[in-house]
Structure 1
Amino acid sequence: MQVPVYDLEGRAVDQIELADSVFGITPNIPVMHQALVRQLANARAGTHDTKTRGEVRGGGRKPWRQKGTGRARQGSIRAPHWKGGGVVWGPHPRSYRQEMPKKMRRLAIRSLLSVKQRENQIVVVRGLTDIEPKTKVMKGVLQRLPLATARSTLIVVDQRRDNVRRAAGNLEDVKVLVAHNMNIRDGLKYERMILTPEAVEVIHRLWAQEGA
């Protein structure tokens, strides 16, 4: 499919071909959901921990004798029902990591890009990699491009571009992402997706192969 290419002034100056196998497939929503759940799960540290009655401090001796006090029998002041006692069935360190077949991960990315294109949320911009590393300059460019009223913007470049990152670093709800780090979470979080022509080439190279 052909889509317009814009310059930094917001003018359509050319056309670029987006591969139908990446930007024009029927989105697989369940796979996208599974990929998102996997990414969020894999981001969890899993370092949470609670102490059992055997790990809390104190409670080494019986608080009072078994019989004759009129009180309920107790074996330790660190039993779970005591204040300061151990925790029953509390969380302990664990891994939340989930696995997902490579073909499903690739399908999720293609589905994401197809959803973005179908909803006209993708804008291809030429010259962005040469932008002056100033917040004011980037802010002006984003306001002149289509979908200027979008609540958030994801800028996708072909490789690390420090000038682009510095220009967008102080802008709220704007993120710069290298194309090979494309992921479901950022794609869904940010409304408008700005691609450079070089980033489009990388995306095609990564996800447009036959049988992908």
Structure 2
Amino acid sequence: MPAANSGTGRKRSPEQSPDDLQTASPSRRLKAPVFDGTGKKSKDLTLDELVFGAEVKPHLVHEAVRAELSADRAGTRAVKSRGLVAGGRSKAWRQKGTGRARAGTTRAPHWTGGGAAFAVRTRFGGKVNRKERKAAFRAALSAHADEGTFAVLADDSFEEPSTRDAATLVEAWGKQRPLIVVAHEDQEAIVKSFRNLDGVPRRSSGRARCW
């Protein structure tokens, strides 16, 4: 979140349906309060209409959040199929003359030591096009601006890192956790102040996303 460069917004739960994110009203709210380090409002910041005045599309935000949550999963579940099991490249016995059924490999599923017939692999995931991802992010920011849950923290709020001051600031805001704090990487005092607060995840401005 730019300029006075730390923003906060309410984090939505994974169980929340896309219908819960209502389309913003025609009268857009293009101002955000700017707070100092004590939690007092100093002024209002005019927001960019191209970013914070976008149309809120719940289905687009829903798809973007699903893709982001899927990408965050570790995906360690895996079972070897016959193509992944080592060995078995030589034919078990000749094709004819043995009286036994033909066998091309000893790694077939019905052999001991063979691969699984229907190997379990991770199949979750999703792809969102770049334009859709950006539109979903603008929609999420616009929804927060409309709801009044977007705030800006002044650059000079923290001269040095202080988790206690950050906790006091959150309480002074009166915001319900969880919150999301977005700051530039070079704002070291702000980043370090909020990083140990429970329920207050932080993101760099370049890595901010819908979820």
Q: TM-score range by the shorter chain?
A: 0.5 to 0.7
2:142 aligns with: 114
Q: Please state whether the residue corresponding to 1:136 is helix, strand or coil.
A: helix
Q: How many residues matched?
A: 175
- Do the aligned partners of 2:36 and 2:157 also contact (CA within 8 Å) in 1? no
Q: Which residues of 2 match residues 47-86 of structure 1 at below 5 A?
A: 48-52=77-81, 86=115
Q: CA deviation at 1:167?
A: 1.6
Of Structure 1 and Structure 2, the greater helix share is in 1
The worse-fitting range, judged by mean Cα deviation, of 31-40 and 110-119 is 31-40
**Other structure's SS at 1:25 match:** coil
Unaligned runs of 5+ in 1: 62-74, 186-212
Higher relative contact order (Cα pairs below 8 Å, separated by 6+ residues): 2
1:172 equivalent to 2:172? Answer no
Matches within 5 A, 1:102-181: 102=131, 104-127=132-155, 130-147=158-175, 150-181=176-207
Taking the aligned partners of 2:84 and 2:163, their CA distance within structure 1 comes to 53
Question: Is the 8 Å Cα contact of residues 37 and 158 (structure 2) preserved in structure 1?
Answer: no
Counterpart in the other structure of 2:14: none
Matching of residue 42 in structure 1 with residue 71 in structure 2: yes
| Alpha carbons 1:42, 1:98 under 8 Å: kept | no
Equivalent position to 1:5, from 22, 34, 38: 34
User: Which residue in 2 is equivalent to 1:33?
Assistant: 62
SS of the residue aligned with 2:201?
A: strand
Query: Is 1:22 the counterpart of 2:51 in the alignment?
Result: yes
Per the TM alignment, residue 120 of structure 1 is displaced from its structure 2 partner at its CA by 1.6
Cα distance in 2 for residues equivalent to 1:30 and 1:54: 39
Letter in 2 for 1:153: L
TM-score normalised to structure 2 length: 0.63
- Structure 1 position 174, deviation (Å): 1.1
% of aligned pairs identical?
Answer: 27
Structure 2 portions without partners, runs of 5+ = 1-29, 87-91, 93-102
What is the CA-CA distance between 1:176 and the residue it aligns to?
A: 1.9
RMSD: 3.8
